[in-house]
Structure 1
Amino acid sequence: MISYLINSTLCLSLLLVVYKALLERERMYVFNRYYLLFGLCFSFAVPLITIETIVEIPMTEQLTTVDFSNINTVAGETLENTEEVSAIPAWFIVALSLYAIGYLLFFFRFLQNIYKIFYKIIKSVRVRYKLASLVLLKEDVLPHTFLHYIFLKKEAYDTDNIAEDLYTHELAHVTQKHTLDIILIELIQIVFWFNPLLFFYKKAIQLNHEFLADAAVLQSNTEVPAYQHLLLANAHGNHDLRLASNLNFSVTKKRLKMMTKHTTRRRAWLLASLTIPIFTAALFLFSTKVIAQKTIPATTAKNTSIQTTTQKDPIAAYYKHVTFVFEDVNGKKTKKTYAELTTTEKARLVPPPPKPTANQPTKEQLSDWQNEQKFAIWIDGKVVNNSEITKHDIVHYQQSFVYKNARSKRFPQSYQTHLYTAKGFQALQQKHKTTLGKNTIVHIKEGNHQVRLKKKKVGTTEESKEKQPFYVKSTGKGPQATEAPFFFETKKNRDKKDIVILINKKGTFLVNYKKKCDLNNLDRHVKSVLGNILHKRARRGLIIYDSAQKALVADVERILKNNKVYNIEVLDSKDVPPPPPPPPAPKKPQIKEVEIPAPPAPPIVSKEEKKRLEIMHKIVKGRKLQTMMINGKEHYYVEKNGRTYIFNKDSYMVDKEGKPLPPPPPPYKEKAKKKELKAKKTKEEKAAKQSAEWKEVEKILDKS
Structure 2
Amino acid sequence: MEYLLKSILCLLLLLLFYRLFLQQEVLYRFNRFYLLFAVLISFLLPLNQIEIPDSTPSEWVVLENLDGMSVNSQGDFQQNFEKAESPNSPLQFPWKALGIGLYGLVSLIFAYRFFWNIRVLKNKANSNIRVVYQDQVLVLLEEDTLPYSFLNFIFVHKKSFEAEGLSDAIFEHERCHVQEKHSLDLIFIEFLMIPFWFQPGLYWAKQSIQLNHEFIADRAAIQKVDQISYQRQLLSLAISSTQHPLTSRLNFSLTKKRMQMMSKKHKPIRTALKLLFLIPMMGLIYYGFSEHVKKPFDAPRHEVHIFPMEVESSENLYDLTFYLATEGRFILNDPQSEDVQQIAQLSTVLDQLPDKELLIRMFIHEGNSMGEIDAVTSIFREHGIRRLVWVDGQGQDQLVEDLDQNYKLVSDQSSQKMTKAEYYSQTKFILKYPDGELEEKSYKALPQNLKDGLPDTPSKIEAKAPSADQFESWKDGNEFALWLDGEVIPNSKLDEISQEEIVHFFSSFVYKNARSERFPQNYQVNLYTKEAFENSFGEFSDPRTKPLRGTVTIPVDEPKNQSFSTNTNPVSLYQKELKAYHEKLNKGVHFIEKDKRDQEELLEEFLDLGGKYFRLKVEDKRQTERPTHPFSPYIRLKKEDGYYFKLREDLTEEELKRLPPPPPPANGLKSTASTQITSGLLESYQKMLLAYDLKKYEMRLQFSGNSAKREAIFEEFIRVQNVFLALDDAEKKLVNPPTSPSMPSRTKLGSDIC
TM-score when normalising by structure 1: 0.41
Higher radius of gyration, 1 or 2? 1
